C-alpha cells in the first residue's frame, strides 16, 4: 500500500539547530537551501523551452559575503504539439558567490561551459525563504537568456534520533509484493562546508516487522536541498540496497528522489512518486544465487518509503496488523490443527475505516491453512464480507494449520504457504500477510495406483525400497515383511 500524505514542499517551518519544538531560524544565509526557478520559456513556439536550473545546496555567509555550491539540472522541453519527451540536457554543480545587505540578497551561479544565473531577491523576516527574479545567459542549446522568478527555502538540519516509518514493497524477486514493513532508526547530518551536499549517516531497525532481507542496517549518503539519498550497508559495510537517487542526476535504477517535506503531522522523508528503495542483498531470501544475484536494476525487493522525522505518527499505516507474518513450526500431515492469531486494529482515534475484507489463499494446492475471525458485526465472523472498524477498535484473525501434503522433493523449511489479504475499498489499500508452515515426518508415504500394476511406495521408512505387487492375489514373503 502506498502511503499517501498531503505534502507541502516548502520547508520553512524549522530552523538551523535541528528538529524540535523550539527550532531557531537561521541568523544568516549559512545552511542548506532548496531552489525553485521558473521555466525558461522560449518566445518562439517552434523552439524548445527549458525547465529546472538550480536545485539544492549549501551556502556559507561570512560578513556580507556569501559563497557555496548548488546542484543544477536543466531539462529540455520540446515545443507543444511535437510529441517530444522532456530530456536532461545538462547537470552538475554551480559555484555560488554573492552578497547580503539587510534583507537584500544578490547571488551569482556559475558552472564551466554552461549558463550563468544572476539572482536578486529578498530574504523573509524570519529568514526562512528568499524570493525574487533571476537573469540567465544563453546556454548554447541548453537554456536561453531570460528574466524569470525564483525562490529558495531553508532546509532544517537533518538530525533525527527517533525515526518511525514504513517500507512498502511493490515487487522484486523475493516475492514481498504489497507487504508493509515497519522501520525505526536515526539519521545524522554532517557539517556544512559550502559543498553542494552534506553527508548523512544513521541506522535502520526492521526487527519488529520481520523483514526477510535484514533486521538491522546502517545507512550512509547525502542531503542536498530537500533531496536525500542513502546507501544501505549490511555485514562488513557491504552495500545491499539504496534509498532514493542522488540530487540533480538521472537514476538508471528507476529510483525516485527521497524528499524531505513538511506535512501536518511533521517532517517526513518520502518517495513522493513511485519507487523509493531497492534491496539487492542481505539474508539468503534477498541475495539470490551466485549464478543469478539481484542487482540495483533487478532487485530482490523494491517499493515506496515513508519515514517520519519529527513525528512517530506521520507515516503511520492506516491499519495496524500485528504480527505482519505467521510462521508455523513443523507438524505431521493430517495432525491436529495448530492456530496462530493476528490483531487487526484501527490506530485512529477519530476515523472510521469502512469496506474492509479478509481473505486467505492457499499457495500450495491443498487447503493447508484456514482462517476465522471475529471482525464482523457484533464480533461475528466476517466470512469474506465487508466490515467496519471503529476508532481504536481491535479484532482478531485466527489462522489454523493442518498440513494436507508433504514438502515437495528437494524442498525444506517452511515449504507450505498461504497469503492472508486484508483490503479496504474505502482506503483503496491492500495488505498481504505471508503465512508459512513446515512439515515433519519426511516425504509423502501415500498409496499410488498405476495400471496395470498396483504400486505401494514405502519411502517414509526406507526411501530406496519399493515393492510392486501384480494384480490378483499377491503374496509377499514373510522374510521380506520382517525386514521392513
User: Which pLDDT value is given to residue 248?
Assistant: 54
| Contact partners, residue 372, CB within 8 Å, separation at least 6 | 381, 397, 398, 400
User: Which pLDDT value is given to residue 62?
Assistant: 95
Tell me how far apart the alpha carbons of residues 145 and 47 are, in angstroms, rounded to a whole number.
Answer: 14
Domain identity same for 381 and 259: no
User: Which pLDDT value is given to residue 20?
Assistant: 45
- Domain endpoint, select from 131, 155, 179: 155
Domain identity same for 148 and 172: no
21 in a domain, yes or no?
no
- Domain endpoint, select from 285, 308, 331: 308
Domain identity same for 243 and 107: no
- Domain endpoint, select from 286, 308, 330: 308
Domain identity same for 289 and 420: no
Tell me how far apart the alpha carbons of residues 275 and 259 are, in angstroms, rounded to a whole number.
Answer: 12
Domain identity same for 165 and 299: yes
Report pTM: 0.72
Task: List per-residue pLDDT tens for the chain, 484 residues long.
Answer: 433 333 333 433 333 445 543 344 445 899 999 999 999 999 998 999 999 999 999 999 999 999 999 999 999 999 987 778 899 999 999 999 999 999 999 999 998 667 899 999 999 999 999 999 999 999 888 999 999 999 999 999 999 998 989 998 989 999 888 888 889 999 999 999 999 999 999 999 987 678 889 999 999 999 999 999 999 999 889 999 999 987 655 445 578 889 999 888 789 999 877 789 999 998 888 988 888 889 888 999 999 999 999 877 788 778 888 887 888 999 999 899 999 999 999 988 888 999 999 999 999 889 999 999 999 999 999 999 999 999 999 999 999 999 999 887 766 678 899 999 998 888 777 888 889 999 987 544 333 333 333 333 323 333 333 333 343 444 444 444 333 3
122 in a domain, yes or no?
yes
User: Which pLDDT value is given to residue 425?
Assistant: 86
CB 399 within 8 A of CB 416: no
2 in a domain, yes or no?
no
Tell me how far apart the alpha carbons of residues 482 and 476 are, in angstroms, rounded to a whole number.
Answer: 10
CATH code for the domain in which residue 424 is found: 2.60.40.2310
CB 230 within 8 A of CB 223: no
125: cis peptide before it, omega within 30°? no
Q: Which of 305, 339, 341, 342 is nearest to 321 (CA)?
A: 342
Domain identity same for 179 and 304: yes
Q: Which of 427, 344, 323, 307 is nearest to 1 (CA)?
A: 427
Number of domains observed in the structure of the chain: 4
Domain identity same for 289 and 378: no
- What's the grid cell of residue 418? 498461504
* Domain containing residue 229: 160-308
293 in a domain, yes or no?
yes
| Strand ranges across the sheet with 394-401 | 320-322, 338-345, 394-401, 369-373
Amino acid at each position: 500500500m502506498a502511503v499517501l500524505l498531503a505534502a507541502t514542499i516548502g520547508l520553512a517551518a524549522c530552523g538551523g539547530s535541528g528538529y524540535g519544538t523550539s527550532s531557531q531560524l537561521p541568523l544568516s544565509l549559512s545552511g542548506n537551501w532548496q531552489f525553485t526557478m521558473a521555466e525558461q520559456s522560449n518566445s518562439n513556439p517552434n523552439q524548445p523551452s527549458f525547465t529546472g536550473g538550480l536545485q539544492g545546496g549549501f551556502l556559507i555567509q561570512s560578513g556580507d559575503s556569501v559563497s557555496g555550491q548548488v546542484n543544477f539540472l536543466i531539462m529540455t522541453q520540446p515545443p507543444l504539439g511535437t510529441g517530444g519527451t522532456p530530456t536532461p540536457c545538462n547537470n552538475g554543480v554551480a559555484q555560488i558567490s554573492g552578497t547580503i545587505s539587510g534583507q537584500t540578497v544578490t547571488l551569482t551561479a556559475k558552472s564551466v561551459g554552461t549558463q550563468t544565473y544572476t539572482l536578486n531577491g529578498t530574504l523573509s523576516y524570519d529568514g526562512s525563504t528568499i524570493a525574487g527574479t533571476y537573469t540567465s545567459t544563453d546556454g548554447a542549446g541548453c537554456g536561453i537568456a531570460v528574466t524569470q522568478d525564483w525562490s529558495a527555502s531553508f532546509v532544517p538540519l537533518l538530525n533525527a534520533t527517533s525515526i518511525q516509518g514504513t517500507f512498502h514493497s511493490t515487487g522484486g524477486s523475493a516475492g514481498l509484493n504489497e507487504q508493509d514493513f515497519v522501520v525505526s532508526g536515526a539519521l545524522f547530518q554532517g557539517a556544512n562546508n559550502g559543498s553542494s551536499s552534506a553527508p548523512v549517516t544513521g541506522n535502520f531497525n526492521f526487527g519488529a516487522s520481520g523483514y526477510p532481507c535484514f533486521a538491522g542496517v546502517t545507512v550512509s549518503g547525502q542531503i542536498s536541498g530537500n533531496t536525500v539519498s542513502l546507501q544501505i550497508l549490511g555485514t562488513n559495510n557491504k552495500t545491499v540496497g539504496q534509498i532514493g537517487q542522488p540530487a540533480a542526476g538521472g537514476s538508471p535504477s528507476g529510483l525516485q528522489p527521497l524528499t524531505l517535506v513538511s506535512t501536518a503531522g511533521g517532517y517526513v522523508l518520502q518517495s513522493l512518486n513511485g519507487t523509493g528503495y531497492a534491496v539487492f542483498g542481505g539474508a539468503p531470501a534477498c541475495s539470490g544465487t551466485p549464478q543469478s544475484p539481484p542487482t540495483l536494476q533487478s532487485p530482490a525487493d523494491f517499493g515506496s518509503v515513508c519515514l517520519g522525522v519529527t513525528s512517530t505518527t506521520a507515516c503511520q499505516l492506516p491499519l495496524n496488523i500485528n504480527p505482519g507474518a505467521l510462521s508455523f513450526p513443523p507438524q505431521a500431515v493430517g495432525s491436529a490443527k495448530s492456530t496462530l492469531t493476528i490483531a487487526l486494529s484501527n490506530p485512529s482515534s477519530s476515523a472510521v475505516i469502512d469496506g474492509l475484507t479478509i481473505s486467505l489463499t492457499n499457495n500450495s494446492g491443498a487447503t493447508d491453512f484456514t482462517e476465522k475471525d471475529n471482525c464482523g458485526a457484533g464480533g461475528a465472523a466476517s466470512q469474506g464480507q465487508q466490515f467496519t472498524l471503529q476508532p481504536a477498535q481491535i479484532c482478531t484473525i485466527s489462522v489454523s494449520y493442518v498440513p494436507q501434503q508433504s514438502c515437495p522433493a528437494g524442498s525444506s523449511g517452511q515449504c507450505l504457504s498461504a497469503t492472508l489479504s486484508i483490503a479496504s475499498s474505502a482506503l483503496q489499500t491492500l495488505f498481504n500477510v505471508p503465512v508459512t508452515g513446515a512439515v515433519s515426518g519426511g516425504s509423502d508415504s501415500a498409496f499410488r495406483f498405476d495400471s496395470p500394476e498396483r504400486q505401494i511406495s514405502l519411502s517414509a521408512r526406507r526411501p530406496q525400497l519399493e515393492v510392486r505387487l501384480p494384480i490378483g492375489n499377491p503374496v509377499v514373503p514373510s522374510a521380506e515383511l520382517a525386514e521392513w
